[in-house]
Amino acid sequence: MDRIFKALGDPARRRLLDSLRARDGQTLTQLEDQLDMTRFGVMKHLKVLEDAHLVVPRKVGRFKYHYLNALPLQEMADRWIDPFLQPQAKALSRLKTHLETQTMTKPDFVMETFIACTHDALWDALTRAELIGRYHFACESVTGDMTAPGDTTDYTFPHGGHMLSNRVIAIEPKTRIEMEFLPNWGEDKTPSRCVYLVTHGASGMKLTVEHYDLPTAQAGVKEGWARFASGLKTWLETGRAHRFAPEMAQ
């Protein structure tokens, strides 16, 4: 938490976050052009943001792209801000983020979260349909485990409508799952691709979510991932289910 407050305390770093919020996945050169400072100075600010897990870098070929990881900010708001806000103020301050279509060679969206749990517990929670249904923000009925390429997991809304399917493209046990993301809501049902990366941290597990080829019309998926990760983290760390459902669904 201290690193987050330190990272937010500098106006240049806040400008970098604003820039990534407006257009995710920028290179160092693109960010440098927006600040009146040396390349080395921008690199130092990005390092502080990365240490606070507010920015996630991804290298593709010769270029390194930087992504806003808003989940730590959401967790800080839940802990320190939301309890003091009235519902009207919450409505005025709610973040509205719109994704822009990027090239297919890099993710359109990257999110990281850290969870105090065992490796096996996190992997099971990501791959077993019965467990996904315990913490998913919108679906209690989930069918189909993810254990091998071709496996499909189906998500069903409480009212019975089909929300989403994830079909496994490739899987490395306890390390990586690449899936086809098949939405069944809204007018644009264009398939995209998402990846789970599971790694050990110093005091727990790290889950990284990457989403590729995400259509602009499906920008709400970004908030959905934050709700998904928050429910997963709460359930694994406390043993109690809490669905971070959208306001209209509460």
Q: Residue 95: what pLDDT?
A: 34
CA nearest to 190, candidates 153, 168, 218, 165: 218
* Bridge partners (DSSP) listed for residue 66: 26, 57
pLDDT (tens digit per residue) in 209-236: 999 999 989 988 999 999 999 999 999 9
**pLDDT at position 83, please?**
60
Task: State the CATH architecture for 96-249.
Answer: 2-Layer Sandwich (3.30)
CA distances from 163 to 5, 48, 62, 232, 248 (A): 37, 38, 38, 18, 16
Query: 73 falls in which pLDDT band (50, 70, 90)?
Result: confident
pLDDT of residue 61: 87
Judge whether residue 66 has pLDDT over 90.
yes
Among the four given CATH numbers 2.40.30.10, 3.30.530.20, 1.10.10.10, 3.30.70.260, the one describing domain 2-90? 1.10.10.10
Name which residue leads in pLDDT, 99 or 63.
63
Q: How far is CA 24 from CA 61, 142, 144, 154, 178, in A?
A: 18, 31, 33, 29, 21
Q: Is the pLDDT of residue 160 over 70?
A: yes
Q: What's the pLDDT at 79?
A: 67
Q: Are the C-beta atoms of residues 129 and 86 closer than 8 Å to each other?
A: no
What is the reported pTM? 0.69
pLDDT (average), residues 52-70: 91
Backbone φ and ψ for 52, nearest 5 degrees, come out as -85, 0
Domain ranges of the chain: 2-90, 96-249
Rounded Cα gap, residues 13 and 51, in angstroms: 12
Better-scored residue on pLDDT, 59 or 94: 59
First vs last C-alpha separation in the chain: 28
Mean confidence (pLDDT) of the chain: 86
Helices and strands of the chain, counted as H and E runs: 9, 10
Which residue in the block uniquely carries the two structure tokens 């970004």? 222
Q: What are phi and psi of 48, to 5 degrees?
A: -65, -40
What is the mean predicted confidence (pLDDT) over 128-135?
Answer: 96
> In the predicted model, what is the mean pLDDT of residues 175-203?
92
pLDDT of 87 higher than 60: no
Residue 78 has pLDDT above 90, yes or no: no
